[in-house]
Structure 1
Amino acid sequence: MVAAIRVPKTQRARRELLKHAPKLVETGKKTLILHGTKTSAVLNSVLSDIYHLKRDNAVKYTKKNDNIRPFESGGESSLEFFSLKTDCSLIVYGSHSKKRPNNLILGRTYDHHIYDLVEVGVENYKSMESYVYDKKLAPKLGSKPFFAFIGEHFESAEELKHLKEVLLDLFRGEVVENLNLAGVDRIYVCTATSPTTVYMMHCALCLKRSGTSIPRMELVEVGPSMDLVVRRHRLPVESLKKEAMKTADHAKKVKNVTKDPVQGRLGKVYMPDQQVGKLALSNDIKGLKRERREAKKNKEHSKKQKVNPE
């Protein structure tokens, strides 16, 4: 039996559906954090730290989910359901088993369908609570991070190329046009130690006096830090990728109009050659129309006076 499609009947319901629909220009992505059937203490701490770093734009479920198998056919329907329910386009799913200990799956969705997946194992993990530092350096809500990807494997290994894209999408936050440098107060440093392993650490940026107008920058590790070992990854389907990569049409170019960073918008106006001593008058001038109307009325009035003398 096929379920009937519910059509919105009010304008408010239509507006809500449009909010959940995919857009050509995305300004920010919400993250959904889920637990598997079984998780370890290390994995619980990893998910908590990710939620803390994304707490301004994330949804976390602590209940265990039994029927989620992202890399198996039919096992991703629950992920798509939760993505639709919470309007999240980024997914972080943690599970633990003897075959794949401390397993972390990072995924993206498009139109609430699974777009791509990266499965990594977490090793040598250090939580944010294990670091001692000035609490003023803790990441603030709305702050933007820097990213540093070190190692040639990010350009040569297909797995790390894919992981780099997903990590950038996961931690970059809301897309903005103008940026205040005071809000860029942290950095993620990712070092490729092998074609399948990335050492990731999170640091705060401290500006120190240098005796010049340019301050000296120091890094203070605030956690978390971990080794991410790529186990499996699934690239997007070509048709879905083509649909997701659509961009907005460029504005129609206006002739003879340019933009200057100093003077702003500039335009060229072309005028015909003018001859000195001659003035071309148009018949559409309002003053001439008024004069013609008055002259016509005076002429008609004079005719009436001649025909009907007193």
Structure 2
Amino acid sequence: MLRIVKPKTKRAKRELEKRAPKLEENTKKLLLLHGTKVSSVLRGVLADLFHLRKAEGRALKYSKKNDGVRPFEGGGETSLEFLSQKTDCSQFAFGSHSKKRPHNLVLGRMFDYHVYDMIEVGVERYKSLESLGGGKKASPQPGSKPCFAFIGEAFEARPEFRHLKELLVDLFRGEVIETLNLQGLDRVFLCTAAGDKVLFRHCAIRLKKSGSKVPRIELVEVGPSMDMVIRRHREPSDNLKKEAMRIMPKTTKKKVKNVSGDPLVGKVGRIYMPKQDVGEMALAKMKGLKRERREAAAARAVAADSGTEAAPSNSPKKQRTE
């Protein structure tokens, strides 16, 4: 039987609220890990991927060996799903090395902390950030977005290439934004389909003077650079894909009348008051504000307009004594 564990601390309650389903999901986090055997090439690839994603604070890298993680094998995904739920990561990159599959890299996604889809590629002709002199040049600036260029008909015609395209775009998507400054486009990923391989290149964008408002663009390769050979891939079933792509209707909040928000003050309300009749209010009034005097002044004003004398007031006057 399923047992619901209630949080015992406020910190645990806040963490569960962050992981709860939302209409607008959080930005995806990437989990990087490797198996029992891993080559120096795969260590460099995982380190470079972590370097490109850590600027956003959406990457987590494990340095210890993970014996129980074996993608594409029965029961070998349980440990991976456990780590995904523990770290709240919906993407993963797993590196391994064997005689049958050397320099093996598996990229995948999670849905509800279960493996949604994944693809296995072999890494060849790898060049790291340090070897190409990338370093700080390849580090994405906060708030910047990458460009993607997919060259070749295979990315539209062949299902395995189309699947790899979706995973690469989702891997470096980051936070979804509506507007972006031209300075925010600082890098581009070039993916070229050549036979059964995908030539993956990472270049930095340099804006040069061109004598007009539109700058001249130059591309400088900063790494990582590698050739990927597609081996195995597993796409989600139609029912699972339909469940993951389901769009929930947005609930519109009922508008509260006469309430608005201000960036400095905060919540601002407007109050409508009825007309106040000060003459009928029981207050301590001056002599000039008494009702009898007001009526006498109004009568004199009417008499002055009509040319007749005003009638004497009924209110008694105090005699002045010397």
Normalized against structure 2, the TM-score is what?
A: 0.74
Q: Match for residue 149 of structure 1?
A: 150
Q: Distance in 1 between matches of 2:13 and 2:199?
A: 45
Q: Match for residue 204 of structure 2?
A: 204
- Structure 1 residue matching 2:101: 3-state secondary structure: coil
- CA 1:84–1:127: 2 relative to 1, 3 Å: same
**Deviation (angstroms), 1:14:** 3.9
* Contact 1:27 1:175 survives alignment (8 Å): no
Is 1:16 the equivalent of 2:11? Answer: no
Q: Match for residue 127 of structure 1?
A: 128
Q: Distance in 2 between matches of 1:86 and 1:251?
A: 29
- Structure 2 residue matching 1:54: 3-state secondary structure: helix
The total of aligned residue pairs comes to 262
**Deviation (angstroms), 1:3:** 7.5
**Deviation (angstroms), 1:190:** 0.5
- Structure 1 residue matching 2:160: 3-state secondary structure: helix
**Deviation (angstroms), 1:73:** 1.9
Q: Which amino acid aligns with 2:240?
A: L
* Contact 1:150 1:190 survives alignment (8 Å): yes
Q: Distance in 2 between matches of 1:235 and 1:118?
A: 8
- Structure 1 residue matching 2:222: 3-state secondary structure: strand
**Deviation (angstroms), 1:174:** 1.4
- Per-residue displacement from partner, 1:80-132 (whole Å, max 9, x unpaired)? 11101111000000000000000000010011111101111001111111113
- CA 1:157–1:136: 2 relative to 1, 3 Å: closer
Q: Distance in 2 between matches of 1:60 and 1:223?
A: 19
**Deviation (angstroms), 1:235:** 0.6
- CA 1:181–1:117: 2 relative to 1, 3 Å: same
Q: Match for residue 40 of structure 1?
A: 39
The structure number with the bigger radius of gyration is: 2
Q: Match for residue 52 of structure 2?
A: 53
* Contact 1:185 1:206 survives alignment (8 Å): yes
- CA 1:210–1:148: 2 relative to 1, 3 Å: same
Q: Which amino acid aligns with 1:26?
A: E
- Per-residue displacement from partner, 1:9-39 (whole Å, max 9, x unpaired)? 5665444223113433234111000011100
Superposition RMSD in Å: 2.9
5 Å matches for 1:240-279? 240-249=240-249
- CA 1:74–1:22: 2 relative to 1, 3 Å: farther
* Contact 1:138 1:204 survives alignment (8 Å): no
Q: Distance in 2 between matches of 1:133 and 1:17?
A: 39
Q: Distance in 2 between matches of 1:227 and 1:132?
A: 19
Q: Distance in 2 between matches of 1:250 and 1:18?
A: 19
* Contact 1:25 1:248 survives alignment (8 Å): no
Q: Distance in 1 between matches of 2:72 and 2:138?
A: 39
Is 1:158 the equivalent of 2:163? Answer: no
Q: Match for residue 189 of structure 1?
A: 190
Q: Distance in 2 between matches of 1:23 and 1:192?
A: 37
Q: Work out the percentage of aligned pairs sharing the same amino acid.
A: 60
**Deviation (angstroms), 1:71:** 0.8
Q: Match for residue 175 of structure 1?
A: 176
**Deviation (angstroms), 1:244:** 1.0
The answer for unaligned runs of 5 or more in structure 2 is 253-273, 276-322
**Deviation (angstroms), 1:140:** 2.6
Normalized against structure 1, the TM-score is what?
A: 0.76
- Per-residue displacement from partner, 1:232-284 (whole Å, max 9, x unpaired)? 011112222111101132577xxxxxxxxxxxxxxxxxxxxxxxxxxxxxxxx
- Per-residue displacement from partner, 1:55-81 (whole Å, max 9, x unpaired)? 131000000011111111211011111
- Structure 1 residue matching 2:106: 3-state secondary structure: strand
- Structure 2 residue matching 1:29: 3-state secondary structure: coil
* Contact 2:137 2:222 survives alignment (8 Å): no
- Structure 2 residue matching 1:92: 3-state secondary structure: strand
* Contact 2:148 2:189 survives alignment (8 Å): yes
Q: Distance in 2 between matches of 1:131 and 1:57?
A: 25
* Contact 2:127 2:225 survives alignment (8 Å): yes
- Structure 1 residue matching 2:179: 3-state secondary structure: coil
Q: Which amino acid aligns with 1:222?
A: V
Q: Distance in 2 between matches of 1:138 and 1:127?
A: 13
**Deviation (angstroms), 1:134:** 8.7
